[in-house]
Structure 1
Amino acid sequence: MADAAPTALIAEDEPLLAAALRAELARAWPELQVLATAGDGLSAVEQALALHPDVLFFDIRMPGQSGLDAAAELAEQWDFDARPFPALVFVTAYDQYAVQAFETQAVDYVLKPVQPARLAKTVQKLRSALRPPAQAATQTIANELPGGPTLEQLRQLLAALPGGGAPASVPTLRQLPVSQPGSGGNLVQMVPVQDVLLLQAADKYVRVVTAAGEHLVRTALKDLLPQLDADAFWQVHRSAAVRADAIDTVRRDEAGRLQLTLRGTDETLTVSRLYAGRFKSL
């Protein structure tokens, strides 16, 4: 790292804003090489996996997949054994409430429109963080990013930022209205939440698995979870949540991934790195 020029990837759907950030970075950090600019979250993940940049500048709001979701997906797919996770900086137009969420989780951010003075502080942090450990005077944001701490920070941010957590006024669901197969949507069955063992995203639907069978509900998982008791339902993957007291076994495979089995079903689920913190004692 000391001899090679640092590299970066910018994910921003507004071309003018992406160009402005790139220009400001060229002034504040001349040796930084911007490898590519992605216009959406999915492309950002693909390019990051292919290019392995040292730094990611991810816009929070992008079409298809937010910067936060893109960062979470990238963390799921990243080979932590091969290389450290990139230093992560979110670019946002959010208000002070959201900024506090970033600061609480020690994840760096840059507000839009980009201000040179604020960007200079971010660059200073990144320069320090990207030094070899022997040269770094103190632990900084990016030092904490490789491995587990980043995943916990991203998980907390997913819950803390607007649209990511449960509004205080949303009541806890007691029953789920599911369509009865073969009824053409004309017959709705009410499934008690206490019978639900697994909720798993499947295209535009969510699989609702009980000991008696499974159903489909046309509500996004991210909209269902805030209405459920977080102590009763544990999210174990960005696309899956399980009833905590239905977990039967937890096994670590040869790759270090956790595998869950549930009582009352034949389901085996992989716990993603993003949510493995619940089982860190294993």
Structure 2
Amino acid sequence: MLVADDEPLARARLRALLARHPEFELSAECGSGTAVLAALRDGPADVLLLDIRMPGLDGMATVEALAQQAPWSLDRPPCIVFVTASEEHAIRAFDLDAVDYLVKPVDIDRFDRAMRRLLEKLGAPSRVPDAGAIAAADTALRAALQALRGDASAPAGDSGSRTASLAGSEAASEAGYAKRFVIRDASGMYFVPVVDVDRVEADGNYVAVVAGGRRHLLRESLHLLASRLNPEEFVRVHRSHLVRINRIRRLEPCGHGEYELTMTDGTRLTSSRSYGEQVRRLLR
């Protein structure tokens, strides 16, 4: 596997995340698309983790150059996973046959799912690291995350100044909430604005995003999706249901800490006792 990102701290975090997956061996690190092409001429890689915004040749242009130059000696081109700070390039990424598209700061569970998807694509068996390897990887990941947050005491102009700048952009990203979901279907990609979402339901390995009477399947856990939504606008009422607060028309207690919710579209849901406190907060 080859990792490309122009920020050394971002590469450190990816290294720490990869250490949890012994199926993959990190063969090279690059800071630009030009360096990626040069590295692949020296030796093949079956997976590329590419940042999109890099100086000179960016991640997208690098993949396009690979399609033309094919500087690898494998029977097939490398699998591509884009890792970037914005969702805006998702459609183009999948047009380039990317296996996955990760948005920074990358969640551990989301990264793990991307690695499982790569294994399925490559037809490789998964391996479970021992407890010592997991502990070491987690320690490295914590160190990388701490470095990404930056050292506030670093004086301007020294090597810590770039870290502080990067940490500021990462913090701003963490503080924000999703504004739209990227949905993939057989015909391509499309967007569902969060402002249109009425509720979200767990559906096996997917979640169903319900907006305007339509269900849009998204391969993500309900727990992770909930963390991307503003808690002032959405409330978890059941382990399988997340609803927009202003779409609740009526609440009726059912006893034992449970409530029946009637949504503005007429849908009826029953909250569970474990989420009773979240529902009761709506009544205060």
Same-fold call, TM cutoff 0.5? no
User: In which range does the TM-score fall when normalised by the shorter chain?
Assistant: 0.3 to 0.5
Give TM-score scaled by structure 2 length: 0.41
- What is the TM-score of this pair, normalised by structure 1? 0.41
